[in-house]
Structures are given as structure tokens and as C-alpha cells.
């Protein structure tokens, strides 16, 4: 990413590193905000026999899609806008945690969100397609178009001092991986918390730790 300091660490691994098989690493689940424009109602036939409990268990939810109001779009713009100075990968992850994957927007709706990323090259892709797509997918597509090469985006944290900050950085690395996934592939995870941690990712994670943690983490590898 442009403007990175000399001490930043590129997220992209070398060709030799990319050949190493990924190793699964368990990451603590993160509580996500469920943000959706879909409402669910239960469809029941009042004449059907059986208790109310049995009807509830057998009832199929009906998904009702509706257009968003101007006030809702304004609230979403606040929730998904990148903060000044916020690292772009951290912003993407924050959007995911706020429910961007469950929010499907048509092109005209997405365009009304205005500038979310503070980068024109990304914002112009949002709402580019007319069909309804999740906001998360639109943001990832914008990132991929703005930064087509993985070397263009780097994660450059300061040394993390708590495991909470360390896990945050590991999730940032997972989100970075997703930017360069094939978004049409059903075999690849759609959730950053399900991304496998490769050895290059783990090495960057260890290097970003204080020596107090780094020695123990290196043994785990």
C-alpha cells in the first residue's frame, strides 16, 4: 500500500514460501454484528393440526427483500466508512465484522453509500454492477481492482503487546488473503476466520510479536 513506512512488512510471501502447505491455526471467534436488509417472517397455515410449538418447528422462513430507506443508507455509510488513518485491510475486516457479508445491495443502493474507502479507485467499483451483491464482495472487488498485485498492499503493525492485538493482526492477514481469492470459487472460504494460516502468514505474525511472545510462538510453529 502506498505510503508505508520503511519498517513495514509486505504481506505477500515469496514464491518459495507460497509452495509450503498451509497449517490450520485456531483463532478465537469474534462476535459479529448482524447487519441485514432482509426480514424473516414465518408462514403458517392456521388450519394445520398440531401445537404451536410443532408449527414453529416445521414452519419455513420466508425471506422478504425490500428497498432501503435514505436514513438506513445514511446509517450504513457511518458504519462502513473508513476512519482517517485506518489501515485499509483493518477497515475491510471491520466492515466484515459489522455485517457487510449479509448486506446485499443493488448497484443504485451501493452508489448512494458514497465514499466508503476514502480511495476513489475502490469506491468507483462499489455499485458498478446492477445485480444485488453483498457489500463485502463489492469491497473486495474494489480492492482487487485498485491493487491488482498482492505486493501493493502491506500490513505494517507496530509490535503488538497483547494477545488480543495479536489476534487482530492475524485476522488482518487472513482478510488480506481473501482480497486475492477467486470470489466465484465455492471451495474457498468466505469468512476470514475460516482462512487457513499459511507458514508465511505465521512467520509475519511471529515477527510482529514482542520477544516475550515470539519465542513461544516460534516453538509452536
Q: Report how far residue 38's alpha carbon sits from residue 172's, in angstroms, rounded to the nearest whole number.
A: 28
pLDDT at 84: 93
- CB under 8 A, 24+ apart: contacts of 78-83: 79/35, 80/113, 80/116, 80/135, 81/115, 81/116, 81/118, 82/116, 82/117, 82/118
Sign of CA dihedral 70, 71, 75, 76: negative
Q: Report how far residue 3's alpha carbon sits from residue 163's, in angstroms, rounded to the nearest whole number.
A: 27
Percent of the chain with pLDDT over 70: 69
Q: Choose among 91, 87, 145: nearest CA to 116.
A: 91
Domain membership of residue 62 (yes or no) is no
pLDDT at 68: 73
pLDDT at 221: 59
Domain membership of residue 13 (yes or no) is no
Domain membership of residue 49 (yes or no) is no
> C-alpha cell of 38?
432482509
Domain membership of residue 173 (yes or no) is yes
pLDDT at 145: 92
CB-based contact 64:41 (threshold 8 Å): yes
Domain membership of residue 107 (yes or no) is yes
Its domain, for residue 200, covers 74-220
Q: State the pTM of this model.
A: 0.66
Q: Which residues of the chain have pLDDT under 70?
A: 1-66, 156-157, 221
Q: Report how far residue 1's alpha carbon sits from residue 119's, in angstroms, rounded to the nearest whole number.
A: 12
SS3 (DSSP) at 65: strand
Domain membership of residue 161 (yes or no) is yes
Domain membership of residue 199 (yes or no) is yes
The upper half-sphere exposure of residue 164, i.e. CA atoms within 13 Å in the direction of its Cβ, equals: 1
Domain membership of residue 8 (yes or no) is no
Query: Could you tell me which residues come within 8 angstroms of residue 25 by beta carbon, excluding any fewer than 6 positions away?
Result: 170, 196, 197, 202
Q: Strand runs (DSSP E) across the chain, as ranges?
A: 9-10, 38-42, 61-65, 104-105, 133-134, 154-155
Rg (CA), the chain: 21
Q: How many domains does the chain have?
A: 1
pLDDT at 217: 80
Amino acid at each position: 500500500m502506498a505510503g508505508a513506512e520503511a519498517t513495514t512488512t509486505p504481506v505477500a510471501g515469496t514464491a518459495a514460501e507460497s509452495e509450503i502447505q498451509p497449517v490450520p491455526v485456531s483463532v478465537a471467534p469474534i462476535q459479529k454484528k448482524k447487519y441485514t436488509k432482509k426480514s424473516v417472517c414465518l408462514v403458517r397455515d392456521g388450519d394445520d393440526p398440531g401445537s404451536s410449538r410443532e408449527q414453529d418447528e416445521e414452519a419455513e422462513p420466508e425471506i422478504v427483500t425490500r428497498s432501503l430507506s435514505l436514513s438506513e443508507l445514511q446509517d450504513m455509510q457511518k458504519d462502513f466508512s473508513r476512519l482517517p488513518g485506518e489501515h485499509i485491510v483493518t477497515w475491510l475486516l471491520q466492515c466484515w465484522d459489522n455485517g457487510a457479508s449479509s448486506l446485499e445491495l443493488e448497484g443504485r443502493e451501493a452508489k448512494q453509500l458514497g465514499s466508503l474507502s476514502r480511495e476513489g479507485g475502490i469506491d468507483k467499483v462499489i455499485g458498478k454492477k446492477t445485480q444485488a451483491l453483498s457489500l463485502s464482495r463489492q469491497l473486495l472487488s474494489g480492492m482487487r481492482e485498485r491493487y491488482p498485485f498482492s505486493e501493493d498492499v502491506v500490513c505494517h503493525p507496530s509490535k503488538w503487546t497483547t494477545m488480543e492485538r495479536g489476534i487482530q493482526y492475524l485476522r488482518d492477514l487472513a482478510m488480506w488473503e481473501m482480497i486475492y481469492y477467486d470470489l466465484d470459487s465455492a471451495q474457498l472460504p468466505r469468512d476470514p476466520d475460516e482462512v487457513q494460516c499459511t507458514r508465511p502468514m505465521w512467520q509475519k505474525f511471529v515477527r510482529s510479536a514482542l520477544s516475550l511472545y515470539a519465542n513461544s510462538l516460534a516453538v509452536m510453529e
